[in-house]
Chains A and B, each alone.
Chain A
Amino acid sequence: MDWSLLLQLTLNGLIVGALYGVVAMSFVLIYKASQVVNFAQGEFLLVGAWVCWWLLTEWQLPFWAGFLVTLAFMTLFGMILQVVVLRPLIGEPVISVIMATIGLGIFFQALMKWIFGVFAKPFPPIFPVERVTVLGLEVQSVYLLSLCISVLIMLAFAWFFTASKHGLAMRATAFDQQVAQSLGVSVPKVFAMSWAISAVVSAVAGVVVGVVNGVSSALSFYGIKVFPAVILGGLDSVVGAVLGGLIVGVLENWAQYLDANWLNWGNMVGVAPFYALILILLIKPYGLFGTKNIERV
């Protein structure tokens, strides 16, 4: 066995997994606050990355300005989606809400293809690309940067939910909407805010992936990889989402290693998480940290 390769793959898995974790976190945020399963999470990454790319290449904005404008746009974008599409569906059955977000997903994916084309486009060089050696392993500096950004976002989330007023209001709403309302929390505002934050955080992840790999519609696949991560971690647990993301990232890299060396099935990177997903659903459907209130038959 090639230990250094395995170690390298694990590190790659952790880096990608951290990004999955960030996206999973923003997915869980929406689910916790408004009980909506957002199948359009990947499109948040996509829209954010394309908008930032467009500002940087077509308008020649410096990176920090383009990035800030993107974040502002995504705040509005998330809020408008919640108010226009999801708010009329409050109280409708699960299937309607799921279908609405799926519809949004298709719509924006096609819209982005229409506007920006189907080919991957690279970001203008923002950070120097060089190889750094960490613990005897070669890593590109952008990957390290993406890992740092992921960790920063996670810390920001931790602060937001434990110390800030809005974060506490959000947790109160997630816990019990009526009690939160009676304590003066505006539930519609919390819903809109959770969508806005989720869109912004996903967009950051989208920009990070875009800077590393170029922007293309493949970004929206992150939104699907999120499901194994959140199910593994527990659908309503922020910590679980991060951990689930990391595990899924490592898992798919290990699966690839296994596949390349012994199985030769091909495409295990893409599918292994879904096999894991089915297994988890059969054995422990509430995940590692989720609330154990699933009705079982």
Chain B
Amino acid sequence: MADLAPAGDYRSSYREDMTIFPTRNSRIALWIGILLVACAPLALGRYELGLLINIGFMGIAALGLNILVGFTGQISIGHAAFFGFGAFTSAWLHETWHIPVALCIPLAGVATALVGLLFGTPAARLKGLYLAIATLAAQFILEDFFARAQWFTGGVAGRITEPFELFGWRADREESYLYVVLFAVVVMYAGAANLMRTRDGRALVAVRDHYLSAEVMGINLAYYRTLSFGIASFYAGIGGALYAHYLLFVSVEAFTILFSIQFLGMVIIGGLGSIMGSLMGAAFMVLLPELVQAGADALAGGAVDRALNLGNSISFLREMAIGAAIILFLIFEPDGLAHRWKQVKAYWKLYPYSH
């Protein structure tokens, strides 16, 4: 196949149309990207590596939410609760049953998927706004459960977790844990990209685009809506488990509604219904507080800082930045970063004859 995609659509078979990476260059770019991240410990400090790890597990959970929101058209305002459930499950499995961490993470994903299916039963019957409210209730119920279930979460004290270990290789530092997260990201993203090419994936998109037509074509709406809820929870669980074994401590207070909203923000900012967009959105959301911090640091000591008391209210500024980013993206770039990226690519593809 060619190095560059020709201007215009020359695909002549379904197989060609379904490829994830249509040109050789796009495949090379993917490998270079993975290689760059793999070499990151050589160049970056621990803090920056920590950010990369954050982007990784947030990106996995955001991808799950994107499958639910962007591909199936369902809404969930309780994603952080499922993320937290995955984190606690993995920690609990390891401590109580002494299952190796490498196995705990996928098991946590499965367990979270089961809980997601439980809360997804209303999802099978509801849509849009009513589902949003049902998942809002799920968020509060699960949060309450975390605070109450001492045997599971450690209660107010939280739960201490063990680092990732596989065949004697301990990933207890940023430099080594990065590879665990990178592996998970590649597997989960490849999984999602392939899911969307299967019958099930197309069924999800059909449910989103026109649920009546989908039903007429023989797609079982209730089944696919519930399924998509389960898949989203699975991704959230995996992301949460990775989070637990990175921080080595899970607090019951971490999984608030604000966190859920952050996940929704990632999906909106990255682009609804875009797989790579989820990762871009996660990167944006993780880097946004850093940007706010950098801005506050730049102003530190000046008149603005004294007048507005920036230094002590940085956490509020971050929250405001999240809210503002969501609103601004909705108004000015509703298709998200992925759409912007496509436009950049199209510009170069057609350059210099773009009209």
| Residues of chain A having any CB pair with chain B under 8 Å | 37, 85, 88-89, 92-96, 98-100, 102-111, 113-114, 224, 227-228, 231, 235, 265-267, 270-271, 274-275, 277-278, 281-282, 285, 294-297
Contacts and interface: CB of A to CB of B under 8 A. Distances in A.
A271 B144 contact: yes
Given A92-B334, A99-B330, A267-B147, 4 more contacts: A98-B132, A231-B133, A274-B141, A282-B122
A285 B133 CA distance: 11
B133 A277 contact: yes
Contacts of B75: 94-95, 98
B316 A113 contact: yes
B305 to A, nearest CB: 13
B119 to A, nearest CB: 8
19 contacts: A88-B331, A93-B73, A98-B75, A99-B326, A100-B326, A102-B326, A106-B322, A107-B319, A110-B316, A113-B316, A114-B316, A227-B136, A227-B137, A267-B147, A275-B141, A277-B133, A281-B122, A282-B121, A297-B124
Contacts of A296: 125
B11 interface: no
B316 A227 contact: no
| Residue of B126, B272, B324, B330 most packed against chain A (CB within 10 A) | B330
Interface residues of B, number: 49
B327 interface: yes
A103 B313 contact: no
Contact of A111 (B134, B140, B225, B316): B316
Contacts of B327: 85, 100, 103-104, 107
The CB with the most chain A CB atoms within 10 A, among B127, B268, B323, B334, is that of: B323
Contact of B323 (A89, A103, A285): A103
B144 A106 contact: no
A265 B148 contact: yes
Contacts of B73: 93, 95
A66 B148 CA distance: 43
Contact of B324 (A96, A107, A109, A224): A107
Q: Is the interface of B mostly helix, strand, loop or mixed?
A: helix
A278 B331 contact: no
A257 to B, nearest CB: 18
Interface in B297-322: 313, 316-320, 322
A110 B331 contact: no
A282 B131 CA distance: 11
B182 to A, nearest CB: 30
A109 B136 contact: no
Contacts of B69: 95
B326 A103 contact: yes
B67 interface: no
Given A37-B129, A37-B132, A297-B124, A109 B319 contact: yes
A74 B215 CA distance: 46
Closest 6 CB pairs of A and B: A107-B323, A110-B319, A103-B326, A106-B323, A274-B137, A114-B316
Interface of B: 69, 73, 75, 77, 121-122, 124-130, 132-134, 136-138, 140-141, 144, 147-148, 211, 221-222, 225, 258, 261, 264-265, 268, 272, 313, 316-320, 322-327, 330-331, 334
A114 B320 contact: yes
Contacts of A99: 264-265, 268, 326, 330
A281 B127 CA distance: 11
Contacts of A103: 261, 265, 322-327, 330
Contacts of B144: 267, 270-271
A297 B221 contact: yes
A106 to B, nearest CB: 4
Contacts of B137: 227-228, 274-275, 277-278, 281
Contacts of A274: 136-137, 140-141
B130 A281 contact: yes
A122 to B, nearest CB: 22
Contacts of B222: 297
B331 A297 contact: no
Contact of B225 (A104, A227, A228, A297): A297
Nearest to B143: A271
Nearest to A118: B316
Interface centre among A92, A99, A231 (most CB of B within 10 A): A99
Contact of B140 (A95, A110, A265, A270): A270
A294 B129 CA distance: 10
Which of the listed residues B121, B147, B316, B317 has the most CB atoms from chain A within 10 Å of its own CB?
B316
Nearest to B319: A110
A265 B264 CA distance: 31
Contacts of A100: 326-327, 330-331
Q: Count chain B CB atoms within 10 A of each CB in A102, A108, A278, A281 and give the residue with the most.
A: A102
Nearest to A286: B130
A98 B73 CA distance: 13
Q: Identify which of B132, B317, B327 gathers the most chain A CB atoms within 10 Å of its CB.
A: B327
